Structures are given as structure tokens and as C-alpha cells.
Amino acid sequence: MQVAVLSDIHSNRHALEAVLDDVRRTGARELWCLGDLVGYGADPNDCVALVREHVTLCIAGNHDLAVTGELSLDDFSAGAALAAGWTQEVIATDHLDYLESLRPLLADGEVGLYHGSPRDPVWEYVVGVLLAELCLDRLPGRLGLIGHSHIALSFDRQEGLPATGSARRDGETVDIGTGSWLLNPGSVGQPRDGDPRAAWLLLDLTLGTASWRRTTYDVAGAAAAIRAARLPDSLADRLQYGQ
């Protein structure tokens, strides 16, 4: 079975629509989302509506929990807090109810879904091998999907060997048939690896492969929407740099 894995959409409708178009061209039977549907961007209602329509499994990210009030805005940077506060004002009641129904992990299946990590599903950024080793120790199965860092990457540990890890670029495919793995699809709505294109992952659970994908989208349109909403210019400017 093929699954498209998305994360960190951040209210970027332009990016999400482009990725969904790309996913339709694959054999993916399901879409899974690792959280942060909202935050930073200017189209929270459109993004939540699209997720509710198309996504099979979805968990909450820290920005989603900020909008629902489960996390304090004091825990966020100034720009993130402003965006979350604005989102609280404009989000539709039924979309807010949907966000409130989500939790930051789903770990009772063949593949564990975590926004942050198996150790801390809300806040932990897994970007280094030593931390990944600790997280692999906590992984109940062989495969874990993580988001939060906005960086496309993978970590694996083969039997008897220490963990290794690597950033992943467009078109890279790895064999996940052996060992334990943490896979990060990167960010749909605000990539931070120097590539402004929307990032996502195509997971083939039958063949045991993971393929990283990038999708070109209307970055200028997404930035213009942020400015029109009078959100911080920095949130718009960073999109073109993939930062």
C-alpha cells in the first residue's frame, strides 16, 4: 500500500493544493498528516477543510494546540504567537472543533505517527543522530514518522549498528525493509532546508520504500496572502528562500 505523508502545512493553501494535485498522480491510497495544519500562513480555514476532505489519518502539531488553547502562546516566538492569535480570531468553529479532536501522536499501528518525536510528540526536534538514537529506543515498532523540524530527513538503525541519518532531497528513495527508521517528510507550507518547494513523502508499505518528493507551488501568492492578512512580513519573505 502506498501512503502520502504530509507535515507542517501551516495554513499555506497554495502549497497544500499543489501537493494534493501531485499526490493524485501517484498510487497513494491514503494520506497521513503529521500536524501543524495551521500557523504562520494566511489560509487556515481552507487548509483545515482540505485536510478534512482528503486526509485519512491526522495528528496535531504544536501550532494546532496553540490555536485550540491547549498550549500557551507564551511558549512560541513572536511571529508564531501573532499568527496563532490571528488564526484563533478567523478560524471557523467546525474547523476549530476538528483541531481540538486531534492528538499529537498515533502509535498503535504498524507505523507510529508523531509530530515531534516518540519521546516528546509535541516539542522535540529530531535533527541529529544522537537524539535519533534515543528516539529509536522509544519507538514501539520499526517505523516512525516525524515532523516539526520542517526538514526532509531520515534516521535508521540496523541490527547491531549505531544509528545513521541524512537530509533527503527531491527524488531520493531508500529501502526501509530492514532496521528501525524515523522518517521526516519535510514541510508542505514552510520548508527550512533551502528548497522553497513544498515537501512530502511517498511511503510504500508493500515494497518497503520511502521516496521524498518536492512540489513547485505559487510562493508569491502564498506570501501575498500573508501580507494581506497583515501578518509579519518575515513570514512571507522566508518562503522564497526555503527558510
pTM above 0.75, yes or no: yes
Are 59 and 111 a contacting pair, CB within 8 Å?
no
pLDDT given for residue 109 in this prediction: 79
Per the structure, the complete domain to which residue 73 belongs is given by: 2-241
Per the structure, the count of domains in the chain is: 1
Long-range contacts of 128-131 (CB under 8 A, 24+ apart): 128/165, 129/155, 129/162, 129/163, 129/164, 129/165
The answer on pLDDT for 110 being more than 90 is no
Strands laid side by side in the 152-157 sheet: 105-106, 111-114, 143-146, 180-185, 152-157, 164-167
What mean pLDDT is reported for the chain? Answer: 97
**What sections of 69-208 are H helices per DSSP?**
78-90, 93-100, 129-138
**What is the distance of C-alpha 59 from the center of its chain?**
10
pLDDT given for residue 154 in this prediction: 98
When pLDDT is averaged across residues 125-154 and rounded to a whole number, the result is 97
The answer on pLDDT for 108 being more than 90 is no
DSSP for 77-107 reads -HHHHHHHHHHHHHS-HHHHHHHHT--SEE-
- Where residue 36 sits, what CATH number does that domain have? 3.60.21.10
Taking only the tens place, the pLDDT of each residue in 203-242 is: 999 999 999 999 999 999 999 999 999 999 999 999 999 9
